[in-house]
Amino acid sequence: MKRFAFVLAMLCTACCQAETGYELWLRYQPIANAQYLNACKSLIRSYEVHGTSPTLQAASAELERGLKGMLRISLPRTNPGSIILAKPEHLLSFPNTIKTTLQKTGTEGFIIKTISIDNKKRILISGNTDQAILYGVFHFLRLIQTAQNIHSLDIISIPRSALRLLNHWDNLNRTIERGYAGFSLWQWNNLPACVDQRIIDYARANASIGINGTVLTNVNANALILTDPFLQKVKALADVFRVYGIKTYLTARFSAPIENGNLKTADPLDPAVRAWWKKKVDSIYQLIPDFGGFLVKANSEGQPGPQDYGRTHADGANMLAEALAPHNGIVMWRAFVYSHTSEDRFKQAYEEFKPLDGKFNANVLVQVKNGPIDFQPREPFSPLFGSMPGTPLMMEFQLTQEYLGQGTHLVYEAPLFREVLDADTYANGKGNPVSSTLSGFAGVANIGNDLNWCGHPFAQSNWYALGRLSWDQQLSSEEIAREWIKQTFTTTPAFVEPVLDMMMHSREWLVNYMTPLGLTHIMYNDHHYGPMPWGNSLGRPDWNPVYYHKADSAGIGFNRTSSGSNALSQYAAQVRQQFEQIDTCPDDYLLWFHHASWDHTMQSGRSLWNELCYRYHTATDSVRQMQQQWKSLRRFVDPERFRHVEQLLAIQASEAAWWRDACLLYFQTFSRKPFPAGYEPPAHDLEYYKNLHIRLTY
């Protein structure tokens, strides 16, 4: 009996194996719906693949892995197969319409089409390159993971952006700036001899959502990465990434010729400096023939740059671009610049880069943060979008949640992405959204060596959303979230719908319990975790929260209209009109552009003070409701992931109340107004919150 009990316990353990989240959205769990399972099996019996490249081998392996997991079958390779992986040159006997269609798909687009051969349905996955076929395989597997009908397929998918990158802010000591999920994936001490399996799985995950580039190192760059020993290590990573269609990029420290080359200057117009960079770039391409190029942060937050020598950003970028051009490499030059001399930090990027429009070489892209300040929970779009028609621009989003609760808050960022991409710049008239001005996408990665990759299980959705949206900017936030939920957890509607509701509201709730109505940058100094609207101890005004909210007895908010800093003048006239008048300015952006009276009547009919109280309290209550919603879904989720999310939601609910109480108590010292009746009173007085000393050890 004891032996039977032991065996039974072991079987139960095996059947209820905990999920760690390591598999991300590539779990390939067995299909529970018998009808759908049988329908898939009736179509899928074997496959054929034309070609033996490492990328096609990866595509074949993924197809076998996915279908074995979901359909519980081992897929044999036959000719003809019920699934065909082939490029146009192998489709000579196929209808011309297929080959004509493929002429339009470029190097990365793919088709998935149901065809008939020998009176039997077959599924063709094709593209002009092996990489395109790999993308097609991942998309086909996604269809099955999300329980979509695969009987009559006619899919054409072409990426809308050629550059779809992750920017890792990883340091060479494996710490990650603004990282909340452990240490860097790149084990520099073990490279190049040892490449961890996790690197392959990282590449698989990126390829599955169409990400085709990765910047390995922090924008606050270390010149050591450009030395020969480190480049050998980079090569080992690039050799893995290449198989999955991912180009490798590095950050270039502008002073590298001094630090690595023993030159006395890094002046971009100095012939010796230019020769040093050309030789360095040539040596990189000898090791990594598909090297993508450089990402550069210069003359920002103390980083060296061309302005140190009286040169412009264009001078610096073009020097690197000339070295990269013979190899088809690119320069991504960040527009994140600000200094204490600027009247309004909002304005500086535009002031420095707008005059340079058209002066950058063709292989230079200016990489612009989504908003004019710094990845805040809500920002108006950067005025550079729509203002530089002669310069390719890249969008920079931040996946790592520096200002969105970091590693503990559930915040789905796709609505933030969509809000920015859909904003009309009115460049050349109505109907020119931010998305139409872009030549590429970059997301500051939220990935570390935590077992589940991103720390918070739901933070994976932001990595997923960046990839899917940069491939297809027409996808809605809801579509992307549904895909992710179904692949990451279950396709059961009783789980999908309430979790979708949580995700879709999560960012708005966070905005309202942290920075409602256009408040911004009121968090703790340095680590940016928790509320500190009273902060005013740092040497530069724009490093202090009080600089941004300007609360006084008359009101609150930063006047950026024509009577203030006039930052609104950087936008097209139609955009200015949206925000210039206080009575018509959308409530969500009111304090971005106006210093409003505490008694100002909001669009809700409430006074500004009462609206602040309303938003802080209702958002906090909404997080508590999200807690209860998650608890009701226990039966759909493995115990480990359920408990992890449950614990993090408890932290989020507590911290939402912390933000609410600390901010309202502080702003009350200026408004001199009582809290409206019926709201939960603060748990402590203001001095309690001011005396909290938050120390983080990320």
Residue 676 lies in a domain: yes
CA 437/CA 427 separation, integer angstroms: 9
Helix axis angle, 228-243 relative to 54-71, nearest 10°?
50
Measured CA distances, 241 to 156, 216, 639 (Å): 25, 12, 34
pLDDT single digits (tens) 367-385: 999 999 999 999 999 999 9
DSSP character for 682?
A: P
Query: What are the helix (H) ranges across 355-450?
Result: 414-422
Domain of 677 in residue numbering reads as: 513-558+595-690
- Could you tell me if 553 and 642 lie in one domain? yes
Residue 41 resides in a domain: yes
Cβ-Cβ contacts under 8 Å for 659 (sequence gap 6 or more): 513, 514, 530, 531, 616, 620
Q: Which two tokens stand for residue 520?
A: 């911004």
Cα–chain-centroid distance for residue 352? 26
Tell me what pLDDT residue 13 has: 33
Helix, strand or coil for residue 163? strand
Counted domains in the chain? 3
DSSP state of 457: G
pLDDT, tens digit (0-9, with 9 covering 90-100), for 436-445: 999 999 999 9
Kindly indicate the confidence band of residue 698, based on its pLDDT and cuts at 50, 70 and 90: low
74 lies in the same domain as 38? yes
Q: Are residues 434 and 526 in the same domain?
A: no
| pLDDT given at position 655 | 98
Average pLDDT over residues 486-500: 98
Residues 546 and 693 sit within 8 Å (Cβ to Cβ): no
Going by C-beta distance under 8 Å and a sequence separation of 6 or more, which residues neighbour residue 57? none
Torsion sign across C-alpha atoms 211, 442, 303, 361: positive
Is the predicted pLDDT of residue 542 greater than 50, yes or no? yes
pLDDT band at 9 (very low <50, low <70, confident <90, very high): very low
SS3 (DSSP) at 441: strand
176: pLDDT strictly greater than 90? yes
608-653 tens-digit pLDDT: 999 999 999 999 999 999 999 999 999 999 999 999 999 999 999 9
Tokens 């040497």: give the residue.
539
Q: What percent of the chain has pLDDT over 70?
A: 97
| Cα gap 443→395, rounded to integer Å | 8
Q: Which residues pair with 213 in a beta bridge?
A: 165, 247
Domain boundary among 109, 142, 157: 157
Is the pLDDT at 324 greater than 70, yes or no? yes
Residue 449 has pLDDT above 70, yes or no: yes
- What mean pLDDT do residues 58-79 have? 96
Residue type, 228: D
Q: What average pLDDT does range 324-345 have in this prediction?
A: 92
Cα–Cα nearest to 673, from 619, 608, 583, 578:
608
Query: Which residue among the candidates 89, 154, 282, 301 is catalytic per the annotation?
Result: 301
Q: Which long-range contacts (CB under 8 A, 24 or more apart) does 579-585 make?
A: 579/380
The span from the CA of 116 to the CA of 505, in Å, is 45
Q: pLDDT at position 3, please? A: 38
675 DSSP assignment:
P
3-class DSSP state of 202: helix
Q: In this predicted model, what pLDDT tens digit does every residue of 417-434 receive, in sequence order?
A: 999 999 999 998 899 999
pLDDT at 407 exceeding the cut of 90: yes
In a domain, 553, yes or no: yes
Claim to verify: residue 152 and residue 167 sit in the same structural domain:
no
What is the average pLDDT across 5-34?
Answer: 69
Residue with tokens 């146009």: 88
> What does the pLDDT read at residue 694?
86
pLDDT confidence bin for 4, thresholds 50/70/90: very low
The reply to whether 680 and 615 lie within a common domain is yes
Q: For residue 9, is it within any domain?
A: no
Picking from 419, 447, 474, the residue at the C-terminal end of a domain is 474
pLDDT tens, position by position, 548-557:
999 999 999 9
Has residue 563 been placed in a domain? no
* CATH code for position 664: 3.90.1330.10
Does residue 142 sit in the same domain as residue 229? no
CATH, residue 53? 3.30.379.10
Do residues 185 and 325 share a domain?
Answer: yes
* Residue 581 belongs to some domain of the structure: no
Q: Among candidates 139, 84, 141, 134, which has minimal Cα distance to 107? A: 134
Tell whether 604 is covered by a domain. yes
Distance CA 145, CA 155 (A): 17
Active site annotation includes 640? no
* Banded model confidence at residue 41, pLDDT cuts 50, 70, 90: very high
**Based on the domain organization, do 395 and 524 belong to the same domain?**
no
Residues 171 and 152 both lie in one domain: no
Only one residue has tokens 């990189």, namely 284
CA 468 remoteness from chain centre: 10
Q: What does the alpha-carbon distance between residue 312 and residue 317 come to, in Å, rounded to a whole number?
A: 9
Query: pTM of the predicted model, to two decimals?
Result: 0.96
Mean pLDDT for 509-521 is: 98
One-letter amino acid of 169: W
The pair phi, psi for residue 133, each rounded to 5°, is: -65, -40
* DSSP class per residue in 522-552: -B-TTT--SB-TT---SSSGGGSHHHHH--B
Are both 536 and 616 inside the same structural domain?
yes
Does residue 515 surpass a pLDDT of 90? Answer: yes
Confidence band for 236, pLDDT divided at 50, 70 and 90: very high
Find the CATH number of the domain harbouring 425: 3.20.20.80
Strand pairing class (213-215; 330-334): unpaired
Decide: helix, strand or coil at residue 294: strand
> Does residue 374 carry a catalytic annotation?
yes
Q: What 8-state DSSP symbol labels residue 47?
A: E
> Of 414, 445, 474, at which residue does a domain stop?
474
Mean pLDDT of the chain: 95
Q: How far apart are CA 184 and CA 199, in angstroms?
A: 11
Report the distance separating Cα 660 and Cα 129, nearest Å: 53
C-alpha 177/C-alpha 188 separation (Å) is 17
**Dihedral angle at the C-alpha atoms of 353, 354, 356, 360, nearest 10 degrees?**
80
**What's the whole-number mean pLDDT along residues 95-105?**
94
Structure tokens, 518: 């256009």
Both 244 and 147 in one domain: the answer is no
- Whether 248 and 292 share a structural domain: yes
Q: Residue 10 — very low, low, confident or very high, per pLDDT cuts 50/70/90? A: very low
Per-residue pLDDT tens digits for 256-273: 999 999 999 999 999 999
Contacts of 64 (CB under 8 A, 6+ apart): 74, 75
Note whether residue 69 is domain-resident. Answer: yes
Of 629, 411, 408, 605, nearest to 508 by C-alpha is 411
Strand order in the sheet with 120-127: 47-49, 83-86, 120-127, 110-117, 154-157
> Residue 6's pLDDT band (boundaries 50, 70, 90)?
very low
Q: Exactly one of 374, 472, 479, 542 is catalytic; which is it?
A: 374
Average pLDDT over residues 193-212: 98
pLDDT recorded at residue 1:
36
